Amino acid sequence: MGERDVLPVHRPTTSGVAERRGVRKALVIGLIVVAVLAVPAAVVGLWAAVVIGMSDPGGPSLLGLRIDGDTVTVKAAQCPSERVRRVELRDGDSEKLVWRADGPLTEEGRGGLLRLWAAEDYRTSRPATRPAELPKQLAVSVGYGPEDGAGAVFDTAAVRAAALPAGSYWTPEGVRTGRELDELIDCGGGEKAP
Protein backbone atom coordinates (compact mmCIF):
# COMPACT_ATOMS: atom_id res chain seq x y z
CA MET A 1 0.00 0.00 0.00
CA GLY A 2 1.39 3.29 -0.98
CA GLU A 3 0.81 6.71 0.37
CA ARG A 4 -2.21 7.15 -1.74
CA ASP A 5 -3.74 3.89 -0.57
CA VAL A 6 -4.35 5.09 3.02
CA LEU A 7 -7.87 4.59 4.15
CA PRO A 8 -9.77 7.79 4.51
CA VAL A 9 -10.49 8.97 8.05
CA HIS A 10 -13.92 10.32 8.56
CA ARG A 11 -13.75 13.74 9.99
CA PRO A 12 -16.93 15.41 11.04
CA THR A 13 -17.74 18.55 9.28
CA THR A 14 -18.75 21.65 11.13
CA SER A 15 -22.33 21.08 10.09
CA GLY A 16 -22.26 17.50 11.55
CA VAL A 17 -21.06 18.78 14.95
CA ALA A 18 -23.74 21.46 14.95
CA GLU A 19 -26.34 18.87 13.99
CA ARG A 20 -25.41 16.59 16.93
CA ARG A 21 -25.43 19.53 19.33
CA GLY A 22 -28.88 20.46 18.05
CA VAL A 23 -30.13 16.91 18.65
CA ARG A 24 -28.68 16.90 22.19
CA LYS A 25 -30.17 20.32 22.90
CA ALA A 26 -33.60 19.16 21.66
CA LEU A 27 -33.32 16.01 23.80
CA VAL A 28 -32.42 18.01 26.92
CA ILE A 29 -35.23 20.50 26.32
CA GLY A 30 -37.66 17.63 25.77
CA LEU A 31 -36.64 15.99 29.04
CA ILE A 32 -37.02 19.29 30.91
CA VAL A 33 -40.50 19.81 29.45
CA VAL A 34 -41.53 16.28 30.41
CA ALA A 35 -40.23 16.80 33.96
CA VAL A 36 -41.99 20.15 34.29
CA LEU A 37 -45.28 18.61 33.17
CA ALA A 38 -44.92 15.31 35.05
CA VAL A 39 -44.26 16.77 38.51
CA PRO A 40 -47.46 18.86 38.67
CA ALA A 41 -49.45 15.97 37.21
CA ALA A 42 -48.09 13.67 39.91
CA VAL A 43 -48.88 16.22 42.63
CA VAL A 44 -52.45 16.65 41.34
CA GLY A 45 -52.87 12.87 41.17
CA LEU A 46 -51.65 12.44 44.74
CA TRP A 47 -53.90 15.26 45.96
CA ALA A 48 -56.91 13.69 44.23
CA ALA A 49 -56.15 10.29 45.77
CA VAL A 50 -55.97 11.82 49.26
CA VAL A 51 -59.18 13.82 48.83
CA ILE A 52 -61.07 10.84 47.41
CA GLY A 53 -59.73 8.61 50.19
CA MET A 54 -60.85 11.06 52.86
CA SER A 55 -64.20 11.74 51.21
CA ASP A 56 -65.10 8.10 50.69
CA PRO A 57 -63.40 5.98 53.34
CA GLY A 58 -65.36 2.92 52.21
CA GLY A 59 -67.59 2.72 55.26
CA PRO A 60 -70.56 4.50 56.79
CA SER A 61 -70.19 7.93 58.32
CA LEU A 62 -69.37 7.90 62.03
CA LEU A 63 -70.95 11.34 62.54
CA GLY A 64 -74.55 12.47 62.70
CA LEU A 65 -75.95 16.01 62.76
CA ARG A 66 -79.24 17.51 63.86
CA ILE A 67 -80.47 21.09 63.66
CA ASP A 68 -83.33 22.08 65.96
CA GLY A 69 -84.01 25.79 65.46
CA ASP A 70 -80.85 27.53 66.72
CA THR A 71 -79.45 24.39 68.38
CA VAL A 72 -76.96 22.37 66.31
CA THR A 73 -75.79 19.03 67.69
CA VAL A 74 -73.26 16.50 66.45
CA LYS A 75 -73.21 12.86 67.53
CA ALA A 76 -69.82 11.21 67.07
CA ALA A 77 -69.69 7.41 67.20
CA GLN A 78 -67.07 6.14 69.60
CA CYS A 79 -66.02 3.35 71.90
CA PRO A 80 -66.35 3.78 75.69
CA SER A 81 -62.57 4.18 76.11
CA GLU A 82 -62.44 7.08 73.60
CA ARG A 83 -62.99 10.69 74.55
CA VAL A 84 -63.67 13.60 72.20
CA ARG A 85 -60.95 16.21 72.41
CA ARG A 86 -62.01 18.67 69.71
CA VAL A 87 -64.68 19.47 67.16
CA GLU A 88 -64.19 21.66 64.10
CA LEU A 89 -66.63 23.01 61.53
CA ARG A 90 -65.64 24.33 58.12
CA ASP A 91 -67.52 25.62 55.14
CA GLY A 92 -67.55 22.55 52.89
CA ASP A 93 -67.15 24.68 49.77
CA SER A 94 -64.52 27.25 50.81
CA GLU A 95 -62.80 25.32 53.66
CA LYS A 96 -63.12 28.48 55.79
CA LEU A 97 -63.20 27.78 59.54
CA VAL A 98 -66.74 28.28 60.87
CA TRP A 99 -66.21 27.16 64.49
CA ARG A 100 -63.79 25.15 66.61
CA ALA A 101 -63.92 23.93 70.20
CA ASP A 102 -61.45 21.99 72.33
CA GLY A 103 -61.80 20.05 75.56
CA PRO A 104 -65.48 19.22 76.07
CA LEU A 105 -66.32 19.81 79.75
CA THR A 106 -69.49 17.72 79.95
CA GLU A 107 -69.60 13.93 80.13
CA GLU A 108 -72.01 13.98 77.17
CA GLY A 109 -69.53 16.01 75.13
CA ARG A 110 -66.57 13.78 75.98
CA GLY A 111 -68.82 10.83 75.10
CA GLY A 112 -69.57 12.14 71.61
CA LEU A 113 -72.76 14.20 72.01
CA LEU A 114 -71.59 17.69 71.06
CA ARG A 115 -73.76 20.78 71.34
CA LEU A 116 -72.21 23.35 69.01
CA TRP A 117 -71.78 27.06 69.80
CA ALA A 118 -72.27 26.29 73.49
CA ALA A 119 -69.10 27.92 74.85
CA GLU A 120 -69.88 26.80 78.41
CA ASP A 121 -69.59 23.15 77.30
CA TYR A 122 -65.93 23.50 76.19
CA ARG A 123 -62.57 24.55 77.60
CA THR A 124 -62.07 26.82 74.56
CA SER A 125 -64.18 27.70 71.54
CA ARG A 126 -64.12 30.28 68.77
CA PRO A 127 -65.92 32.21 67.51
CA ALA A 128 -68.35 32.54 70.39
CA THR A 129 -71.43 33.18 68.27
CA ARG A 130 -73.01 31.12 65.55
CA PRO A 131 -73.04 32.71 62.08
CA ALA A 132 -76.37 34.17 60.96
CA GLU A 133 -76.51 31.49 58.27
CA LEU A 134 -74.85 28.08 58.24
CA PRO A 135 -72.88 27.12 55.11
CA LYS A 136 -74.76 25.02 52.54
CA GLN A 137 -72.17 22.28 53.01
CA LEU A 138 -70.95 21.91 56.60
CA ALA A 139 -67.74 19.90 57.01
CA VAL A 140 -67.55 18.48 60.54
CA SER A 141 -64.49 16.82 62.05
CA VAL A 142 -64.20 15.34 65.51
CA GLY A 143 -60.83 14.46 67.02
CA TYR A 144 -60.18 11.88 69.72
CA GLY A 145 -56.41 12.22 69.79
CA PRO A 146 -53.51 13.51 67.73
CA GLU A 147 -54.25 11.15 64.82
CA ASP A 148 -57.69 9.66 65.53
CA GLY A 149 -60.93 11.21 64.41
CA ALA A 150 -63.93 11.17 62.13
CA GLY A 151 -65.28 13.57 59.55
CA ALA A 152 -68.30 14.09 57.32
CA VAL A 153 -69.82 16.76 55.13
CA PHE A 154 -73.50 17.59 55.62
CA ASP A 155 -75.98 19.35 53.35
CA THR A 156 -77.54 21.69 55.93
CA ALA A 157 -80.78 22.06 53.92
CA ALA A 158 -81.24 18.26 53.92
CA VAL A 159 -80.56 18.09 57.67
CA ARG A 160 -83.08 20.86 58.38
CA ALA A 161 -85.69 19.23 56.13
CA ALA A 162 -85.38 15.80 57.79
CA ALA A 163 -88.06 14.97 60.33
CA LEU A 164 -85.75 13.50 62.96
CA PRO A 165 -87.19 11.65 65.94
CA ALA A 166 -85.70 12.46 69.35
CA GLY A 167 -82.24 10.92 69.74
CA SER A 168 -81.76 10.58 65.96
CA TYR A 169 -79.25 12.27 63.67
CA TRP A 170 -78.88 12.87 59.96
CA THR A 171 -75.95 11.02 58.38
CA PRO A 172 -74.85 10.87 54.73
CA GLU A 173 -76.45 7.38 54.69
CA GLY A 174 -79.75 8.55 56.22
CA VAL A 175 -81.24 8.82 59.72
CA ARG A 176 -79.54 6.91 62.58
CA THR A 177 -79.97 6.94 66.34
CA GLY A 178 -77.01 7.70 68.58
CA ARG A 179 -76.82 4.00 69.54
CA GLU A 180 -76.83 2.95 65.87
CA LEU A 181 -73.92 5.30 65.23
CA ASP A 182 -71.96 3.89 68.17
CA GLU A 183 -72.64 0.31 67.01
CA LEU A 184 -70.93 1.04 63.68
CA ILE A 185 -67.57 0.83 65.46
CA ASP A 186 -65.81 -2.40 66.30
CA CYS A 187 -64.29 -1.52 69.66
CA GLY A 188 -62.34 -4.79 69.83
CA GLY A 189 -61.63 -6.84 72.94
CA GLY A 190 -65.33 -7.35 73.69
CA GLU A 191 -65.74 -3.64 74.47
CA LYS A 192 -69.31 -2.59 73.73
CA ALA A 193 -70.30 0.84 72.45
CA PRO A 194 -72.29 2.82 75.04
CA 189 to CA 194: how far, in whole Å? 15
Q: Which of 15-19, 102-106, 117-121, 168-172 has the lowest mean pLDDT?
A: 15-19
> CB neighbours of 158 closer than 8 A, spacing ≥ 6?
170
Distance (Å, whole) CA 16 – CA 143:
68
CATH of domain 63-182: 2.60.40
What does the alpha-carbon distance between residue 66 and residue 167 come to, in Å, rounded to a whole number? 9
Mean pLDDT calculated for residue range 94-112: 94
Q: Per residue in 40-49, pLDDT tens?
A: 655 545 444 4
| 3-class SS string, the chain | CCHHHCCCCCCCCHHHHHHHHHHHHHHHHHHHHHHHHHHHHHHHHHHHHHHHHHHCCCCCCCEEEEEECCEEEEEECCCCCCCCCEEEEEECCCCCEEEEEEEECCHHHHCCEEECCCHHHEEEEECCCCCCCCCCEEEEEEECCCCCEEEEEEEHHHHHHCCCCCCEEEECCEEEEHHHHHCCCCCCCCCCCC
CA torsion 14-15-18-22 (nearest 10°) is: -170
Alpha carbons 87 and 139: distance in angstroms, whole number:
11
What tens digit of pLDDT does each residue of 48-64 get? 444 444 444 567 889 99
Task: Say which residue, 117 or 2, is predicted with more confidence.
Answer: 117
Domains of the chain by residue range: 1-56, 63-182
- Per-residue pLDDT at 50: 40
